[in-house]
Chain A
């Protein structure tokens, strides 16, 4: 019995491998997905090599050069205290990536654990977790995040905490749904019947099969996480000056909009392009990883 489970496991693994290969092939066929990949790849490079790529320090002020329009010395112009906007946008990519990976990473962790508990054991604990997640989903995300961030005090860390608090139910739901299906599949029922330890069933059989729905949800969410965080910073609850966070930069640039269009325009463009990249990647991930869509009309 054990042997056959292992065999079916190997089979599944090789079918997963070919799924990835098929995924790569369809990625090559979709120019928009490639564009998404290029944008995010570029962002990661910017974030890693920010100190060598940025022409100036993101915080160095130069009052003699304040509010100078885009030129060959300052490609994106300078802000109200003479800081180079290009350098600040480049350094801002670090903050954006940090927010996205922390929020999505933490919510995946919390959400997946709760989703597995909920779906695998069912009963009152399932009922409890799902009702709590219902309540969190009943709030418009931004409003609840604002309330939590306001109560905790304005800072980037608190924005991340607030967003994790409101975001986990999505992953708990996705994972629970997947676990409910998996629980009834023959080889898992069989594994339980022969007395395989539950932690082993979860780690070896349940968890690996939750990876792709969670991954789809995560790539689709990245853009929204970035937009929400930028909005919170713009309103004043997130990153505080002089942090080169894109939303906070727009908030400062807003006061100089009439005569200095570049100040708020370039950080906004950075947000737009990054979120487009995440969304294109999310669509591609869904098309590639979601088996229901693979043969569908979409």
Chain B
């Protein structure tokens, strides 16, 4: 099987999952106790208005017909209109997406850049002080409630010490809008003040969000490095007199990275979930903000749309991880 066939096959495998995701988001809006049309119309609506809304939204038709219509709309990119903002849900999500993308990506990069070397060091110095220290910090890292850590950091570094900026994505004016990603936009427009500003604003939220994933990356890198160290070919490499550095970085790391990559893919879901608490604490105007707002006000078109989009992003990230296996490890293609 060549690489292209493998990729096409993997892409096709996600079709039933995407349909399942649509079915669940659709069902969620139907488990709500009470009448969706009543909710939409508000408490003071007359029966006629409720009836009209019910008909307009197709709520008077059989469930499977409603689901069919929903799928047809979604595939056309129409996620309905938000009750709260009165704008198309797709446009709302698109507006909030860059902030979340910038936050989760920075957090993930932070976790990878710090986590993999820490995991390697931990494995190389197994059971020594450095290893014990990194294991203990990993346990604390995965056990930390994100929202609480965010609050405490905010209290110390913003309120008390005043060394880091407080809530929001940027302190001064935003850079001119190109992609909606502040870092990228400020580089593209040469707006160095905005770049510095948005980087400083990213420090605390990205650290808080990356922390939990960092711990997982360290643990996985450590244990898979140790697994690989036990393999015959590593013994051989050592026996033929290769210097340790070459054994660790050229022979062991490449193979140890595969399980770590899986963890990173799965952790992206955690990042998207964790973003909810992080965005709330740091008043970060991203998708998670939109999620909470739509959920607390029972804005069902928005809830359905945003839950589905987040699940799709998660599926897509894991698809990319699966495909990148094939590049790292040629055995997987067969």
Contact = CB atoms under 8 A, between A and B. Distances in A.
B31 to A, nearest CB: 5
Contacts of B307: 139, 143-144, 147
Interface string B272-289: 111011001000000000
B330 interface: no
B313 to A, nearest CB: 9
A250 B151 contact: yes
A270 B28 CA distance: 33
Interface stretch (B16-24, B45-53, B238-246): B16-24
Contacts of A152: 31-33
Interface stretch (B65-73, B190-198, B225-233): B225-233
A33 to B, nearest CB: 11
B144 interface: yes
B147 to A, nearest CB: 5
Contacts of A275: 142-145
Interface stretch (A54-62, A86-94, A231-239): A231-239
Given A148-B28, A280-B139, A297-B230, A134 B17 contact: yes
Nearest to A273: B143
B310 interface: yes
B20 A134 contact: yes
Given A134-B20, A139-B21, A276 B140 contact: yes
Given A142-B276, A297-B227, A272 B303 contact: no
A197 interface: no
Contacts of B277: 231, 234-235
A296 interface: yes
A235 B148 CA distance: 12
B314 A235 contact: no
B259 interface: no
Interface of A is mostly: helix
Nearest to B139: A279
Interface string B109-129: 000000000000000001000
Contacts of A227: 143, 145
Given A139-B314, A147-B25, A275-B143, A265 B152 contact: yes
Interface stretch (A10-18, A200-208, A253-261): A253-261
Nearest to B312: A138
B12 to A, nearest CB: 14
B244 to A, nearest CB: 17
A223 B143 CA distance: 7
A257 B154 CA distance: 10
Interface in B279-330: 280, 291-292, 295-296, 298, 303, 307, 310-311, 314-315
Nearest to B16: A131
26 contacts: A131-B17, A135-B24, A140-B270, A140-B272, A140-B310, A140-B314, A142-B276, A144-B311, A146-B292, A146-B295, A151-B32, A153-B33, A231-B276, A231-B277, A235-B276, A237-B295, A247-B147, A257-B155, A271-B148, A272-B140, A275-B142, A276-B140, A279-B142, A283-B139, A297-B226, A297-B229
Interface of B: 16-17, 20-21, 23-25, 28-29, 31-33, 126, 136, 139-140, 142-148, 151-152, 154-155, 159, 223, 226-227, 229-230, 269-270, 272-274, 276-277, 280, 291-292, 295-296, 298, 303, 307, 310-311, 314-315
A231 B276 CA distance: 9
Contacts of A278: 143
B119 to A, nearest CB: 13
B155 A138 contact: no
A150 B295 contact: yes
Given A135-B21, A235-B280, A142 B142 contact: no
B151 A138 contact: no
Contact of A140 (B24, B126, B273): B273
Most chain B CB inside 10 Å of its own CB: which residue of A135, A152, A223, A261? A135
Contacts of B23: 135
B303 A150 contact: yes
A265 B298 CA distance: 31
A289 interface: no
B274 A142 contact: yes
A276 B148 CA distance: 15
Contacts of A136: 24
Contact of B20 (A135, A147, A235, A271): A135
Nearest to A264: B151
